[in-house]
Structure 1
Amino acid sequence: MLTIERALVDKIVAHARADHPDEACGVIAGAAGSDRPTRYVAMMNAERSPTFYRFDSLEQLKVWREMDDRDEEPVVIYHSHTATEAYPSRTDISYASEPNAHYVLVSTRDPEEIEFRSYRIVDGTVTEEEVKIVDGYA
């Protein structure tokens, strides 16, 4: 189960809506081993595409080094789908390389409704998980 603060969900959704019709992407870092997302990092979609996303390699290197320096890891890796449901595509699955991360997808296909879902993706196997949105961590 992914437990995440409402303020972080709001940031992900705002980023997805702002970048629409292109896919948005980013990470939420947290203390290594904590499984608690705390530090939001919006990233640039190097593809600038409505159907595909890719982290810019230099930006990703910088962000991952910063996480290492802060003893953090990517707790959430997120991106949006602009015309389809919030479910990982074959490409998303093939690029999933962080077995401990929660892969969050937000669909912006309906401007009136938020579709926010989370998955674990390990060795090509996708498992949807419950999302618990909280006002703050206890």
Structure 2
Amino acid sequence: MLYLKKSDYDIILQHALSGLPNEACGLIAGKVNGDVKYIEKVYLLTNIDESNEHFSMDPKEQLAAIKDMRANNLELLGNFHSHPESPARPSEEDKRLAYDSKANYLILSLMNKNEYVLKAFLINEDKNVIEETINIM
């Protein structure tokens, strides 16, 4: 189970909307207690691909985020990205690029302007996708 503060959800949503028509991306960090993960900080990164179908995070921004996590005793929990024109589910490319079976992959679908959808996934070594419950508090 994954917990996300409403204020952090709003930050992710605004980042995704401001990145349109391209995908937006970032990292999530926090604390782990057994099977429960608490997102405590969201890092907004630049999609250097400037594409609406895929993303690559700026390496310098990634390094700065990791340093900040270490300085604040936070664990890297995973990443997020938006799907401007498709559902909140991992694409074949998302599955192919999933390198850490313990990481959460959050996808925010912007395709329905009346109802944005955020989902969280785990992707194992065999590229099987498991949806994880995400609670927005």
Interval containing the TM-score (normalised by the shorter chain): 0.7 to 0.9
Q: Which residue identity lines up with residue 133 of structure 1 in the other structure?
A: I
Q: Deviations over 1:3-34 (max 9, x none)?
A: 21111111111111111110000112114x44
Deviation at 1:108, TM superposition (A): 1.0
| Distance (Å, rounded) in 1 between the aligned partners of 2:68 and 2:101 | 20
| Distance (Å, rounded) in 2 between the aligned partners of 1:60 and 1:86 | 23
Q: Which residue identity lines up with residue 129 of structure 1 in the other structure?
A: E
The residue that corresponds to 1:102 in the other structure is 104
| Distance (Å, rounded) in 1 between the aligned partners of 2:38 and 2:100 | 15
Deviation at 1:113, TM superposition (A): 1.3
For residues 65-104 of structure 1, the aligned pairs below 5 Å read 65-104=67-106
Q: Do the aligned partners of residues 98 and 68 (structure 1) sit closer, same or farther apart at CA in structure 2, a change above 3 Å counting?
A: farther
Q: Which residue identity lines up with residue 106 of structure 2 in the other structure?
A: V
Deviation at 1:51, TM superposition (A): 0.6
Note if 1:63 corresponds to 2:65.
Answer: yes
The residue that corresponds to 1:8 in the other structure is 8
| Distance (Å, rounded) in 1 between the aligned partners of 2:17 and 2:114 | 11
The residue that corresponds to 1:23 in the other structure is 23
Deviation at 1:84, TM superposition (A): 0.7
| Distance (Å, rounded) in 1 between the aligned partners of 2:73 and 2:98 | 21
SS in 2 for 1:40: strand
Note if 1:133 corresponds to 2:136.
Answer: yes
| Distance (Å, rounded) in 2 between the aligned partners of 1:23 and 1:57 | 17
TM-score, normalized by length of structure 1?
0.87
Number of residue equivalences: 133
8 Å CA contact 1:20–1:108 kept in 2: the answer is: no
| Distance (Å, rounded) in 1 between the aligned partners of 2:42 and 2:129 | 24
| Distance (Å, rounded) in 2 between the aligned partners of 1:28 and 1:73 | 9
TM-score, normalized by length of structure 2?
0.87
Q: CA RMSD in A?
A: 1.6
| Large movers: runs of 4+ above 3 Å | none
Contiguous gaps of at least 5 residues in structure 1: none
